[in-house]
Structure 1
């Protein structure tokens, strides 16, 4: 059976195209790609799990908003165990965005800084030029493709509501792409992009990628301690200015250099003929406890509620300690300050705790990492297409008298909510779980197909365009480019 499936036919190619990659790889093992674990693979896994949590967040807020508040915040409304601290992190999507940005700063900095430490400035500049050239393709290309598909679904009535004509719809889509999705001039403002509001982070990601590349270039010829001190100083400057994204990208750069220095020190110790300095078990334990504590604090802060932070036990202490200008900027600024700090410490500590690092290097997390950008892009339209059909509604009785003004007919029970009900917290939690069991595979399937047939090809197109644009004296070279950003 497997032998016959491995023969490349038109039908088998079509089936392989439409199947999730992990299914297709079993049916066609001869075509299964290989993925190697590299020194920063755990960041790919962390980014992948974070993208899944973002999907869980929007699913929960759209369909089970009663589960979003912190546990026990409203005595008149019963709370469920899923709202408890730490557990609620599974649908806390906002802090995951900040983890994305720290990881992007780390990954985009890693190769040029590694070249600086190897005293290969030419390679550093080549890597910076390549990353800068291809950054727009990497970030904007998949979003343009996805919003174009959403636009077509809108106009055909499959998703949301059509406009008066195709020309009007196309013009509207063009304005959204130009003035929102690819508009980097607002720096860290949520532009609420049409067609997919979840893409608000993309122009922020692009603008701060350019800032990061400029900072790396500026300090590429500086002494190590001067570069580290200057980077740390710029991080503090961003915090004092209320610029969370700038802090997070530069924090990623700072952590990347620490990672490179640690790896070099370990390698030197192994290669040295002298015995490496012995680290006592007590010191190892203290280091482990430090990083576990930082992760625990970060996960607790990650459960920061959308509302009533000043009333939530534990969170209200952090809320009260929020410094200026964050305390008075806007209602979301305090959580952004603490999310940024906790994201930097989580990214650092995850790489220092072996058993956590191994989890993010495992097959599940690595698969999520490969399709993470596709999950981020696809989960919104997939929820828009299927969540109401799957979840339905509970029975709603009629209001008023027939024939009188304001009369509303009864709404029949339908979907998971109609089957289970939403009267109690237990029913809501069970409905939340069952809905995920159905919608989760749909989102993963769509993201897997999008990753293979849109996301990856866009990366390849960007590389080909770059090579085509190189001057004759420049020898095209294959620069490794992680989709982590």
Structure 2
């Protein structure tokens, strides 16, 4: 063991902090020389660490920890807010109704175009006229910014998608009626939560943008002048929107929610139509397939006669779904009957049949898109000159049924029929269906609801200011078409990414969260007691067979009871449960 030698340094300094008789003597430590080492290998004197050295190390460690925490926080923020393009590609399995979501996504994009069009091409938007021909006003071309036609498609798609699961359960070989009732009850409970939470949150935010005058140009709204009037406006909008019995059409733009944001006039109509779908499915839940189809068609004809266009569209969506499932069922039965000789197993389908199918579908698509792209006159008289003079449009307006006159643009009779024909055509044409199953269409499907809700406030708070700067930049360009081209390019590059990024955030933190919250709330709402529903088996004439289902644990227990009484293990007779009691506690 070697002992360190301590010696006094050559320089001695007087410390100001000590008394005059004391000296501050710095010490140095010297390692003793080893006999086995040469003189050059002997360690040089080392000064003891100064007190400030430990303080410096502590400061560096604290700074390092602070930097690590900051980096971690920034990484969390980046993961939470990053655009989807930086999230990596995720493979997805397409379901049978994903093409419907693609239709909804493209329709939401076109609705957004219809509102941006006012800023970019304010002089464009009327019907095509021979006096002032414009390319963007051609019938099918103008469909890209026809918001009314897209709303018509929204309601049909909703009727189709909301009824798909229930109709599929009804068409099973042995329908499980309890599962059908449970599905409908769950849909009714969750629909308002899932639909309105994003709307009410955004309405609250948009009212504050009015209060702080963040919109450009700032609208003059007296109800946004004080906080109390602002909150009262929001409460009134919430209460009015949740009332499914107030049709509020065709004056839906005067509803309190629509006064906050005019685009949201469709949300209460969507909610009311959804409840109509669930009630109709509940009424038809225990009918045979043929009876159910006839009843749906009859109801559709009745809504056509009375001209209640929004109910017509939702019922039309149910009819389209029922036709799809019926044709699917027939195809499955044919495949089972033919066995190995089925058309899917043999190359009997020639390539030219596919070409003919594509050509016929394309020919049928042209008149449908022509009618869908009819001029839209929101709140204008029938003799509005903006309708233009394109062929057939004036004739269609004359031949509109009397009960359909006075409807809003989305409720135009011929536009509604064309929208139904479009959904039926896409549903039965594989190459059209694939157009709405492409990744771009599915991306728009994922953000469709938030894009529809968020694009107005994003346009008012950010877009209008950006457009004013863009107009200053391109005003120096003399050529009209070059100027318009530059405006479109600059808006697409500068405003487009912001809008889609905001829509992605809305889809993640408003749309998806509302779906999860609705599911959580339903679970809490139904978890109070263990209950069971007794469903009598009408097919058994000798016994009263009831299916008891524990709804809290999802466990099925089937018991067979005698029609008169029930015996216990000892042979004693116990009174049978009353047939009037539908819900009993499981012991």
Provide the TM-score with structure 1 as the length reference: 0.83
Alignment of 1:64-463 (within 5 A): 64-73=121-130, 75=131, 77=132, 79-118=133-172, 119-159=175-215, 160=218, 163-180=224-241, 184-186=245-247, 188-192=249-253, 193-272=258-337, 273=339, 275-276=341-342, 288-307=358-377, 308-309=386-387, 311-326=389-404, 328-329=405-406, 332=409, 336-392=412-468, 414-415=471-472, 418-420=475-477, 424=480, 427-428=483-484, 430-432=486-488, 434-463=490-519
Of 91, 95, 112 in structure 2, the residue corresponding to residue 38 of structure 1 is 95
- 1:99-157 alpha-carbon deviations (Å, 9 max, x no partner): 11000000000000000011222221111111110010111111001111111222222
Please name the residue that 1:13 is paired with.
Answer: 76
Deviation at 1:207, TM superposition (A): 0.7
Comparing both structures, which one devotes a greater share of its residues to helix? 1
Higher mean displacement: 348-357 or 246-255: 348-357
Higher mean displacement: 370-379 or 335-344: 335-344
- Matched position secondary structure for 1:70: coil
Deviation at 1:206, TM superposition (A): 0.6
Q: Retained in 1: the 8 A contact 2:474–2:486?
A: no
Q: Distance in 1 between matches of 2:408 and 2:268?
A: 22
Deviation at 1:414, TM superposition (A): 4.5
- 1:187-239 alpha-carbon deviations (Å, 9 max, x no partner): 64342212211000010111111111111111111121221111111111111
Deviation at 1:425, TM superposition (A): 6.0
Deviation at 1:463, TM superposition (A): 0.5
Q: Retained in 2: the 8 A contact 1:70–1:312?
A: yes
Q: Distance in 2 between matches of 1:291 and 1:129?
A: 39
Deviation at 1:52, TM superposition (A): 0.3
Higher mean displacement: 174-183 or 299-308: 174-183
Q: Distance in 2 between matches of 1:448 and 1:357?
A: 24
Q: Distance in 2 between matches of 1:219 and 1:331?
A: 30
- Matched position secondary structure for 1:65: coil
Q: Retained in 2: the 8 A contact 1:134–1:463?
A: yes
Q: Would the alpha carbon gap of residues 330 and 215 (structure 1) be closer, same or farther in structure 2, given more than 3 Å must change?
A: closer
Structure number with higher relative contact order (C-alpha < 8 Å, ≥ 6 residues apart): 1
Computing the radius of gyration from Cα coordinates, the structure with the larger value is 2
Q: Distance in 2 between matches of 1:360 and 1:178?
A: 36
Q: Would the alpha carbon gap of residues 47 and 440 (structure 1) be closer, same or farther in structure 2, given more than 3 Å must change?
A: same
Q: Distance in 2 between matches of 1:313 and 1:433?
A: 33
Deviation at 1:339, TM superposition (A): 1.8
Q: Retained in 2: the 8 A contact 1:184–1:204?
A: no
Deviation at 1:72, TM superposition (A): 2.8
Please name the residue that 2:17 is paired with.
Answer: none
Deviation at 1:253, TM superposition (A): 0.5
Q: Distance in 2 between matches of 1:354 and 1:330?
A: 34
- Paired residues in the alignment total 441
Query: Unpaired segments of 5 or more residues in structure 2?
Result: 1-70, 378-385, 532-550, 555-587
Q: Distance in 2 between matches of 1:19 and 1:98?
A: 33
Higher mean displacement: 144-153 or 365-374: 144-153
Deviation at 1:294, TM superposition (A): 3.5
Q: Distance in 2 between matches of 1:297 and 1:235?
A: 23
Q: Distance in 1 between matches of 2:407 and 2:158?
A: 25
Q: Distance in 1 between matches of 2:413 and 2:502?
A: 34
Q: Retained in 1: the 8 A contact 2:119–2:467?
A: no
Query: Unpaired segments of 5 or more residues in structure 1?
Result: 1-7, 27-31, 394-412, 478-485
Please name the residue that 2:380 is paired with.
Answer: none
Deviation at 1:432, TM superposition (A): 4.2
Provide the TM-score with structure 2 as the length reference: 0.69
Q: Would the alpha carbon gap of residues 237 and 370 (structure 1) be closer, same or farther in structure 2, given more than 3 Å must change?
A: same
